[in-house]
Structures are given as C-alpha cells and as structure tokens.
Amino acid sequence: MNINNSLKLLVDRRFSKLSIAILTFEPDGKKVRVKAGVTVLQAAKDAGIGIRSECGGKGTCGKCKVIIKDAHSVTEISSVEKNTLSQREIKDGYRLSCQAKILKDVVVMVPPESRIGTRKFMLYGVEREVEINPLVKKIYVQLKKPTLSDVGADLERLLEALEKYMENRDALDFDFDILRELPEILRRSNWKVTVVLWDNKVINVEPGDTTNEMFGAAVDIGTSKIVCHLVNLKSGETLAVGSIENPQILYGEDIISRITYASKGNHNLNSLRKLIIDGLLKVLVEVCQKAGVSLNKVYEVVAVGNTAMHHLFLGIQPKYLALSPYTPVVKKLISLPAKILNLNINPNGIITIPPIIAGFVGADAVADILATGIHESEDNTLLVDIGTNTEIIVGNRDDLMCCSCASGPAFEGAHIKDGMKAATGAIERVRITADLEVEYETIGGGKPRGLCGSAVVDAIAEMFKRDIIDRYGKFNPNVVTPRLKKTKRGMEFVIAWQNETATGKEITITQRDIRELQLAKAAIYTGCSILLKRKNLKEKEINTLFIAGAFGNYINPENAKVIGLIPNVPTENIKFVGNTAVAGAKMALVSCKMRESMKTILKIVRYYELATDPDFNSTFINSLLFPPYQS
C-alpha cells in the first residue's frame, strides 16, 4: 500500500469514529447537522445555501471561497487551495468549500462574492405568428342515457357522440385508466362531458363543459436556467412566465461536469434527472398560481434543451455524448405520458421533446431555427446562440449547416478573477473614457460584487480601443494610469476601486481574464468562419445575423465586433432575438404545422464537426487575436 492510500485510510478511519457536527452558516445564521467528513460545499448544498461552484466541486474555479472561523474544525489546507488562494486570503481564514472537510462543529462565513444571487434570465424570445392548431383539443358532448331498450356500453355511447366531430372514431386510442373511471364520470355529470384529445388519443374525460380550460406549457431547459411559459391552447396567448436556476448547477456550471457525474452510475443519473423534474414542477406551480390555472388542466408540456439536458431530463445515460464520436442515444421527437417522468400535470398529460440534431446541437437549436424562420428564408442568415456551449447555424431554406463550439463558461463569469453570473450586484456595462477613467452600471443599481459576461466583453473591448492592451491581449506597459497595476498575479486593470465595491476588494481585469475571453471568443469566431467558408460565403454576404440566448441579448454588438467575438456584419443587420428556444417550443405547442416544420428542419440542416476541419487549428489560433481597430 502506498503512502497516499495509507493516509486516505487513516483519514477515513478518523471520520468513521466521528458522528455528527453542527455547521453554522453566517450571515444566514442557519445551523445544519452533518456527518463529519463531508465537504463544506456538500453541506451547503444539503442545507439549501447557494454557494457558487462553477467547476462542480473540482477545485479548479476558485469561486466557492468561504471563511472558516476555526481552522482546526476542518481538514488542513490542500495543495489545490494553496495554488488558488492568495497568501492574504489564507491568513484571513479563506478556504475553498469544495476542499475543506468538516471535522467538528464549525462556523462558516459565506462572503458576498461566493453567493449565488438572483440571476437575470432571458424569459422571452422573438415569436412568429402561427395558426393556432394544437394537438390537444377538447370536445363537449351530450350522450344518450341508457335505458332497458338501449343497453349499449358506456364507451360506445361516447364514441357515438364523438362521431360527428371526427372522421374515424374507431382510430381513437383510450388510456386504460380512463375506461376505469368512465362509468362514474358519465353518471355524475348527467351524461354531459368534455373529451380531451391529444392527437388521436383520448387523454381525459371531464364532467361538464370545460372547453375553455385548455392549457399547455413551453419550457426551455437550459444548462443554467429553466424557463416556462404557461399557454392558453385555444388562443395561443402566454398567460404567465416563470424561471428558476437549473438545480443541477450544484453539480457544475458546465455540461461536461454533469455528464461526468451522471456517468458514475444510475444513482447519480437519477439524482440529476430528479433535480430537473423538481425544478420544472416548481416553475409550473409558480406560473399556474400566477394565472389562476389548475395543474390538472395542463395537458401538454413541450420541452427543449441541449442534447445533454435532453438526455438527463429523460433519465438517459449521457456519457457517450462526451466520448468520440459524441453520439446521442436518440434524435427523433419523443412524446410520452407525463406520469412516466413523475411530472404532476394532468394525470394523462403528455411530455413532448422535439428532435435533436447531433451530440451537442439539441432540440433548443431546432427551436431557434423554428422561431427565427431561417429555414424558410431565401436570404443568407447566420444564427449564433451564445452560451457555455454555443450553437452556430448558417444558410437559407435550401441548405443549413450547423456546428457546436465549446466557448466555455467565461461568458457566465467562470474562470474570470472577479467574474460572476448576471445577478444582482454584477457590473453589466463598462466604458473607459479618454483619460482612462471607468464608468460602469450594475444589475440592480447597487454596489458592484463582480463582473458578468457582458461587462467582461465591454471592459476588454474598451481597453483595446484605449491601447491599454494590444492585439495579442497583452497589457501595454507604457500606459500611465493608477488603474494599471502590477501584482503578484501580474498586470491588472482596476474597474472598481475597493471603496466602491460591496466586497471591500478591488474588481479588476487580469492578464489571465483576457486570455480566458480570447479562448471563448476564438471558439465562436472559429465556428462562424469555418461554416461560412464551407458554405462559400463571405461575411459581407450575410443578410442577417441573429444573436440568441441570455448572454447574447445583453452584449454590446459594437464591442463584440471589436474583440472579434462575432463576424463584422453591419450593426443594422444584427438582430437580438432573446430566448428563441422557449419561443420555438411554444410554436410547436400551439401549432401542428410547426411540429411538421421541425421535420423539414431536420432534412435541410447538416451538422459539421469542427474538429475534423483541416483549417480548424490555424483558424482558431488566428481568431485569438483582436482584429485591427480604427476609431
């Protein structure tokens, strides 16, 4: 047995002899009982305390910092922490909550910069007008009562009443549970009932006339959030909108962290699936309460998401999505009873998941295409849905080509020294004046806690425009300003002084931050460049550039072009379309024709694997540079 294994065994034995420790989270004052040996981060998850963990607890992001009041109440500081935390932070009692394991009763202070705040989500997207014709339909019928001279079966009476509304009543399928309940429903309602159909299946029989109560939900299950629209299926009107941070975020900000966790066994996979289901149900309850609608009257949910979220939602093992050649388990549209997934809408309601395109281009991309209508356009269009995993689609109604690029979580604030999500206290806008002073705006208007993705783009673009950094992203040592400082980490530019911030610490952009943004923006620009090249198109031939997604909706398009994040398309041809994933899901929910359009989309869209392109490496390296800038 080697020394490391011996030490691990000793530690495990030490923990096994201990029982329960009391952990107190400040400033919440919340006390929880935990088993000795668990990490502070895991204890926080169990207690419902939101601590940032962009890397899923691997110790690589450095965002889960906490202050331990008694250093002896947790395990000794690890080498990972020594490499991440500054000497001053270590002296002040800072630890990474994912690394520190609890030994005994302990008080933990969660500082503002480590807390998961209320995020700014993109709830709406551009919608096209469609003919309202959902798969869910309601028919009110009055049946003939049975008599001694007319002893036909209850089901036959129902089918006879439906005959004048349908071409082939015998093609109807019935859920067996409905047949069990049918006798009581018919007699209790004096033989006047509403039949609820989904396609050619009877999914409910309700007493009386309920034809005006017909609802469905369109859902975007994103990596970072779940957005839900409650929709009146008769009118197509959105009645209420709700959102929640994807609860799976406890196991990592990025897709790969969650796939890795799920691949370790069915227990982990089921835990992730349950988190999505519970989160979705919470949002459904919220929107139904807002609109005064019963969950029992929600008959269909159309849910879109990237391929990993698609698999996790359905409880399908996603591990092969992360292994070459990155194949999904299933691509076609899936409709199944909601009760199979334990989603408590109408007991016989339906969950529909639109088709996916490839391993990392999911149903959300199909919804993007549907909502923007690029599959019907004669013009050359580029659609970029920016996120941790960015989908890019280019072409027109004759041919669409798509790809996926791992732009990483920098746009979500991960791997950025003072980065954070677009939550209260995040700087979201930055401008640098001619005398190198900084003007900024925060979400919520209060003191800043950090920088969200749009602010990082602004700050680096503004620094480039003011010659504070060069095309390679290096700081210019000849710039004279107190904001440009040399620290142990290297050169940094101060965005907000310590007396201006909520944390009492300076908010800066470091050399490493610039490198992180360069990697992210190069991934996206490389995807755009290669697809345009394979389509024999030049940037100037793009008639419209659609930018979708929450991050995309908040970026400054001029600054995005300055740093080479997006192609140099005239600003007037750039359209911000918001959450087209949920908009496309809604279109499929309310229109049979739009569901058929999804089949058309799959026929004309081609997936292109960037990694196989002979020009990938050279294009990516060139894309790391900032393009030449002329003021």
What would the pLDDT profile of 577-617 be if each residue is shown by its tens digit?
Answer: 989 999 999 999 999 999 999 989 999 999 999 989 999 99
- Among 427, 417, 421, which Cα is nearest to 448's? 427
pLDDT of residue 319: 94
Class in CATH terms, 3-114: alpha beta
Residue 120 binned pLDDT confidence (cut-offs 50, 70, 90):
low
Least confident of 293-307, 399-413, 457-471: 399-413
The domain 221-353: what is its CATH number?
3.30.420.480
Q: What is the mean pLDDT of residues 40-46?
A: 85
**pLDDT for 619 beyond 60:** yes
Question: What pLDDT shows up at residue 475?
Answer: 96
What is the Cα–Cα distance from 161 to 166, expressed in whole angstroms?
A: 10
Q: Which residues contact 72 (CB under 8 A, 6 or more apart)?
A: 103, 104
pLDDT digits (tens, 9 = 90+) for 173-192: 888 888 899 999 999 999 99
The pLDDT of residue 128: 83
Average pLDDT over residues 456-469: 96
Confidence of residue 3 (pLDDT cuts 50, 70, 90): very low
- Position 124 scores a pLDDT of 60
3-state secondary structure 181-200: HHHHHHHHCCCEEEEEEECC
According to the model, what pLDDT value does residue 10 have? Answer: 43
Q: How confident is the model at residue 377 (pLDDT cuts 50, 70, 90)?
A: very high
**pLDDT above 80: residue 552:** no
**Residue 572 near residue 541 (C-beta atoms within 8 A):** no
Residue 250 pLDDT level (bands cut at 50, 70, 90): confident
CATH classification (class only), 364-409+518-623: alpha beta
136-207 has CATH 3.90.870.10 classification: no
CATH topology identical between 136-207 and 221-353: no
Banded model confidence at residue 11, pLDDT cuts 50, 70, 90 = very low
* pLDDT tier, 252 (very low <50, low <70, confident <90, very high otherwise): confident
| Separation between Cα atoms, residue 431 and residue 434, nearest integer Å | 10
**Cα 185–chain centre separation:** 42
Q: Which of 18-27, 139-148, 380-389, 505-514 has the highest mean pLDDT?
A: 505-514
Whether pLDDT at 70 is above 80: yes
pTM of the model: 0.82
Residue 54 has pLDDT above 80, yes or no: no
pLDDT at residue 15 above 70? no
Q: Is 229 helix (H, G, I), strand (E, B) or coil?
A: strand
Stated as kind and residue range, the H or E segment containing 441 is strand 438-442
- Residue 555 — pLDDT band, cuts 50, 70, 90? confident
CA dist., res. 187 & res. 515, Å (int) = 72
Domain boundaries, the chain: 3-114, 136-207, 221-353, 364-409+518-623, 411-508
The total of other beta-carbon atoms located within 10 Å of residue 462's CB is 24
Q: Render pLDDT for 387-410 as a digit per residue (tens, 0 to 9).
A: 878 999 999 999 999 999 888 777
- pLDDT higher than threshold 80 for residue 225: yes
The answer to whether residue 212 scores a pLDDT higher than 50 is yes
* Whole-number Cα distances in Å, 54 to 246, 308, 331, 395: 13, 17, 29, 34
Antiparallel, parallel or unpaired: β 438-442 and 426-432:
antiparallel
- Please, are residues 585 and 367 in contact by the beta-carbon 8 Å criterion? yes
Average pLDDT, the chain: 89
On whether the CB atoms of residues 305 and 221 are closer than 8 A, the answer is yes
